[in-house]
Amino acid sequence: MKGKIFTSIFALPFAGVGVWMLWSISTTVLDAWEMRAWLPAEAQVISAGYTTGSGDDSDTYEAYAEYRYYWNGQTYTGDRVSISSGGDNIGDYQTETGRRLSAAQRSGQPVTVYVNPDQPSEAIVNRDIRWGMVGFKSIFVFVFGGVGFGLLYAAFRAPKEKDATLPRYAEQPWLLNNAWQTEIIRSGSKAAMWGAWAFAAFWNLVSAPLPFVLFDEVTNKQNYIALVGLLFPLVGIGLLWWAISRTLEWRRFGPAPFTMDPFPGAIGGHVGGAIDLNLPFDPQARFQLTLTNIYSYESGSGKDRSRKETAEWQDKLVAHAEPSSSGTRLAFRFDVPDELQASDAQQDGKSYHLWRLNLKAELAGPDIDRDYEIPVYATGAESRWVSAQAARNARSEQNKIDDAAVIKAVEIRSGTGGRELFYPMGRNLGPSMVGFIIGGVFASVGGFLVVNEGHLIFGGIFGLVGSIIAIASLYMMFNSLEVSQDGMSIKTVRRILGIPIKRRSMRRASFARFSRNSSMQSHSGNKHVMYYSISAVDRQGDEMTVGEGFKGDNEADAAIRMLSRELRLKSEEATISHDVQGADEDVLAADS
């Protein structure tokens, strides 16, 4: 109840601003409609100009005038200039109107005013609607009003808070989440679709006045740098396309509910079940599933507070597709290792864990891309629907995909001593470019603050962090790794732009095992990608990198199979251990 009261108090000012602006627009339109019947008359300007109001961030202007006009033999005095009163700085309407009326006063030229024939004491200089001002106020109507009434709706529609101390929740903690009452889990696609439309509408409403402002800046002031502002409406067009794409995806595939088996998913057991799609069955279609255990936490404090996510474990599978009454049914089963963190049903702390299942497929027409936040707990339960043979078949199909991805990322050559593996420059081009751009922006901002603003400490920190990110990104982009062997040893050569900078070697007889490390992740929206490097470890525990840039556990396993085969190395260990926090992971290499 306290949460609802607090949300309502917070929302009311936003809703009030929206209502106020809607009232202002409505009265403007109504006045303009009534003034269509007002009649023109000539008036002599007594005084005119515009006043300037200075605020914290900018100045506002308001045109004023006093004029005398004659109607049915009587003299009247008026001072109304526009339908809406008050100053603003939307375009140059106020200043231009004030100058025009002031010029008419000085020259003695009459101006046209419009008189209310039913009440001749009422007159106005400009009875037209200022559509730019209407558009500006509309932003407040939709943004502030939308936020205010949206929060009020959410507050009163929110379910009653549950008492987590009750015995039933101690035994079944997932029931604290209202979305986890049954084994049927809905994706976030519908909410994402409406969220896309809301964000696109917000962005386009805010940036809508920009083209009019830029037109004046470019045509009248020759400020061509202002054309950079066109990026904002261009981004708005992209956001509209994104919202349309989400809508087409929803309309094509429908709700796509996920029926869990077991329910909830089990740490030390299985996460599986079936997803039903409103899609005609196509035996050639391949549906990829990704299951991720995520740690979510708050970073920073005060105004700089933000929520971040880190993947702690991840696995991929190709779903088994079969025809169903609704179209297509996808059945699958993940084997989940022990010692992973369970879902947090309420997710109301500064940090918590969650499990996310992603379904993705590239198809003719709109592609499917669904996310499900699911309950996973340490019950050890196993799936009743998906057999062990079906799970092995799915894993075998996934291994083929991962093996193909590894072969595509690595150039395998025949050398004098056997196979040579080459990891070329540009293999991490996408993340490297993003990192270089971000680092370059930070470094540029830091340089500007130091040189132009004199902020040596703050600007220096910005510049240093940006430079480190940019340099690291350039290293990722332009480094290459060569792995070769002869009869006695395994050798590696690290190069930058083809220039050797580091050489390593390991005696074949001292090789003990492969180790994999994950020290880098990429995160876009709800999607996480964990990048792994593979090291050869000798009996003394010394490591030598023999592979890198592999996406996810699956590709890392495929890379170890490839390295074991091509370098003809056998691990001495018979278990696989995972450590996704960057520490070494001992992984059994497949026998050659």
Residue 9's H or E segment, with its range, is: helix 2-34
pLDDT band per the 50, 70, 90 thresholds, residue 38? very high
Residues whose CB is less than 8 angstroms from the CB of residue 497 and which lie 6 or more positions away in sequence, other chains included = 425, 478
- Average the pLDDT over 293-322 and give the result: 84
Distances (CA, A) of 219 to 227, 229, 388, 556: 11, 15, 71, 58
Left, alpha or beta for 376 (phi > 0: left; psi -120 to 50: alpha)?
beta
* pLDDT, tens digit (0-9, with 9 covering 90-100), for 504-513: 999 988 999 9
Residue 230 has φ and ψ, to the nearest 5°, of -65, -15
Q: What is the DSSP letter of 40?
A: E
DSSP letters of 465-511?
HHHHHHHHHHHHHHEEEEEEE-SSEEEEEEEETTEEEEEEEEEGGGE
Distances (CA, A) of 157 to 1, 7, 175, 182: 12, 12, 19, 21
**pLDDT of 578 above 70:** no
Tokens of residue 358, six digits: 């992603």
Domains of the chain are 2-133 (no CATH), 178-386 (2.60.40.640), 411-587 (no CATH)
**pLDDT of 516 above 60:** yes
- Average the pLDDT over 125-138 and give the result: 86
3 state SS of 543:
strand
* pLDDT, tens digit (0-9, with 9 covering 90-100), for 532-544: 899 999 999 999 9
**Residue 589's pLDDT is what?**
34
Residue 459's H or E segment, with its range, is: helix 456-478
Say how far apart CA 200 and CA 194 lie, in whole Å: 10
Instruction: Supply the mean pLDDT for the chain.
Output: 85
Say how far apart CA 199 and CA 144 lie, in whole Å: 13
Say how far apart CA 52 and CA 61 lie, in whole Å: 5
pTM of the model: 0.67
Tokens of residue 79, six digits: 């001072």
Q: Which amino acid, one-letter code, is at 371?
A: D
Q: Where does residue 168 rank: exposed (0-12), middle (13-18), buried (19+ CB within 10 A)?
A: exposed
For the ranges 79-88, 213-222, 323-332, 391-400, the lowest mean pLDDT is seen at 213-222
**Residue 302's pLDDT is what?**
66
**Residue 103's pLDDT is what?**
95
**Residue 584's pLDDT is what?**
36
pLDDT, greater one: 206 or 109: 109
**Residue 572's pLDDT is what?**
58
* pLDDT, tens digit (0-9, with 9 covering 90-100), for 410-452: 988 887 767 889 999 887 777 788 888 888 888 888 888 787 7
Tokens of residue 536, six digits: 């050869």
Q: Which amino acid, one-letter code, is at 257?
A: P
- Average the pLDDT over 462-476 and give the result: 88
Residue 330's H or E segment, with its range, is: strand 328-335
Per-residue three-class SS string for 182-235: CCEECCCHHHHHHHHHHHHHHHHHHHCCHHHHHHHHHHHHCCHHHHHHHHHHHH
pLDDT band per the 50, 70, 90 thresholds, residue 585? very low
For the ranges 91-100, 137-146, 535-544, the lowest mean pLDDT is seen at 137-146
* pLDDT, tens digit (0-9, with 9 covering 90-100), for 362-374: 888 888 999 999 9
Say how far apart CA 140 and CA 13 lie, in whole Å: 12
- Average the pLDDT over 355-363 and give the result: 92
Nearest to 424 by CA among 434, 416, 413: 413
**Residue 579's pLDDT is what?**
39
Handedness of CA 189, 329, 336, 573 (dihedral sign): negative
Residue 409 has φ and ψ, to the nearest 5°, of -85, -20
Residue 544 has φ and ψ, to the nearest 5°, of -140, 120
For the ranges 50-54, 69-73, 456-460, the lowest mean pLDDT is seen at 456-460
**pLDDT of 261 above 70:** yes
Q: Where does residue 272 rank: exposed (0-12), middle (13-18), buried (19+ CB within 10 A)?
A: buried
Handedness of CA 42, 48, 49, 53 (dihedral sign): negative
For the ranges 237-246, 371-380, 416-425, 560-569, the lowest mean pLDDT is seen at 416-425
**Residue 306's pLDDT is what?**
78
